[in-house]
Amino acid sequence: MSNINRAVAARERRAGVDLLWIAAVLAVAAALARAIAFTPIESAQGAAQKIYYVHVPGAVMAFAGFGITAVTGILYLWLKDLRLDRMAESSAEVGVVFTTVTLVTGPIWAKPIWGTWWTWDARLTLTLFLWFVYVGYLVLRGAIDDRAQRARYAAVLGGLGALLIPFIHLSVYMFRTLHPMPILLKPSAPSLPPEMLTTILSCLGAFALLFGALLRARYRLATARDAVAEAEEGR
Amino acid sequence: MNMTVIDTESYYHAAYIAAVAIYALYAASLWWRGRSLPRRETGD
């Protein structure tokens, strides 16, 4: 095994046990335990309202991920630093995972409340488009061999894709939609009872930690992959 | 007043299981890709 492979293997072993992972897993477990066992059931929707505690953090962290992709991609175009491209790639992939959770849990919540799994409502449709844009971003990256060209094209797509985010957030104000108005992320005070507000804030904090742990692990993977590729090119 | 709460528990359980499964599968995929990277890329 070459030196570079030993270094990659050692880094992967170190990444196996780390405090951020432990904190993220414990925080998510505690936040979900609070949501399941210590948060009251909403009277109109019943237990399905508790889907809120995984659905909303999924959407918020997805937006954060794609925002990071856009910012680091634009910075890459300026500074040409491949670390920025690796961060953009990593946050796009993690953002796709969080969007997937939002798109899966949303219909499961919609079925008992709206009577349908899916409707072509502005917010749902734009969120699905956002998912397609960033899946396309990842496919595009896989299709281009030249590293600089791949980073440049991806930066443009990653930046443009993030323009959907404000439209998604404002879609409930701009269009007639089945999706409820924000009850947390809005200009006035959150319209939630205190126990539910504490639970959603705990879940947002816990899933932010999970997002950080996944993003760091994905970034390390991208760094290790590039180190191996560079070693191969140098042979 | 006696208020009846509608039974939507199975949906709530399904959503939590789906969310945890997606995050766990992705974390496992990162671990797997990291583990197999040197061997796959270099063939040693």
CA distances from A172 to A54, A123, A176 (A): 20, 7, 7
CB A145 within 8 A of CB A84: no
CB pairs under 8 A between A and B: 108
Q: What pLDDT is stored for residue A6 in this prediction?
A: 57
Token couple for A111: 């079925």
Across the range A217-225, mean pLDDT stands at 95
Candidate from B12, B31, B42 with C-beta closest to A47: B12
| Nearest C-alpha in A relative to B30 | A218
Across the range A101-115, mean pLDDT stands at 96
Q: What pLDDT is stored for residue A181 in this prediction?
A: 77
Q: What pLDDT is stored for residue A17 in this prediction?
A: 61
**Alpha carbon distance A222, A186 (integer Å):** 36
> What's chain A's average pLDDT?
91
**Alpha carbon distance A211, A162 (integer Å):** 18
Candidate from B8, B9, B19 with C-beta closest to A105: B19
Query: How far, in whole angstroms, is CA A232 from its chain's centroid?
Result: 32
Q: What pLDDT is stored for residue A14 in this prediction?
A: 57
Q: What residues have CB less than 8 Å from A235, skipping those under 6 apart? A: none
Candidate from B5, B11, B33 with C-beta closest to A109: B11
Q: Establish if B22 touches chain A: CB-CB under 8 angstroms.
A: yes
| Nearest C-alpha in B relative to A57 | B19
* Collapsed DSSP state (helix, strand, coil) of residue A208: helix
CB A40 within 8 A of CB A193: yes
Q: Convert the pLDDT of each residue in A202-219 to its tens digit.
A: 999 999 999 999 999 999
Q: What pLDDT is stored for residue B42 in this prediction?
A: 45
Instruction: Kindly provide the ipTM of the predicted complex, given to two decimals.
Output: 0.89
Q: Which of A122-126, A151-155, A173-177, B17-21 has the lowest mean pLDDT?
A: A173-177
DSSP B44: -
Q: Convert the pLDDT of each residue in A149-191 to its tens digit.
A: 999 999 999 999 999 999 999 888 888 777 877 777 777 777 7
pTM (predicted TM-score): 0.89
Run of H or E residues at A52: helix A52-79
Rg (CA), chain B: 20
Candidate from A49, A217, A224 with C-beta closest to B37: A224
Token couple for A112: 């008992």
pLDDT-derived band at B44 (thresholds 50, 70, 90) equals very low
Interhelix angle A147-161/A82-114, nearest 10 degrees: 40
Cβ-Cβ contacts under 8 Å, A217 against chain B:
27, 30-31, 34
Q: What pLDDT is stored for residue A3 in this prediction?
A: 57
Q: Do B30 and A214 touch (CB under 8 A)?
A: yes
pLDDT-derived band at A56 (thresholds 50, 70, 90) equals very high
Interface with chain B: mutation pick from A53, A101, A113, highest number of B CBs within 10 Å: A101
Interface with chain A: mutation pick from B2, B17, B20, B23, highest number of A CBs within 10 Å: B23
**Number of residues that make up chain A:** 235
**Alpha carbon distance B27, B44 (integer Å):** 25
Cβ-Cβ contacts under 8 Å, B7 against chain A:
46-47
**Alpha carbon distance A191, A68 (integer Å):** 29
Q: What pLDDT is stored for residue A231 in this prediction?
A: 86
Candidate from B9, B18, B37 with C-beta closest to A108: B18
Query: How far, in whole angstroms, is CA A153 from its chain's centroid?
Result: 21
**Alpha carbon distance A62, A146 (integer Å):** 28
**Alpha carbon distance A9, A47 (integer Å):** 45
Q: If we measure between CA atoms, which residue out of B8, B16, B3, B20 comes closest to residue A110?
A: B8
Percent of chain A with pLDDT over 70: 91
| Phi/psi of residue A42, nearest 5 degrees | -70, 140
Q: Which of A12-16, A26-30, A50-54, A180-184 has the lowest mean pLDDT?
A: A12-16
Query: Terminal CA-to-CA distance of chain A, rounded, Å?
Result: 14
Q: What pLDDT is stored for residue A128 in this prediction?
A: 98
Decide if pLDDT at B38 tops 50: yes
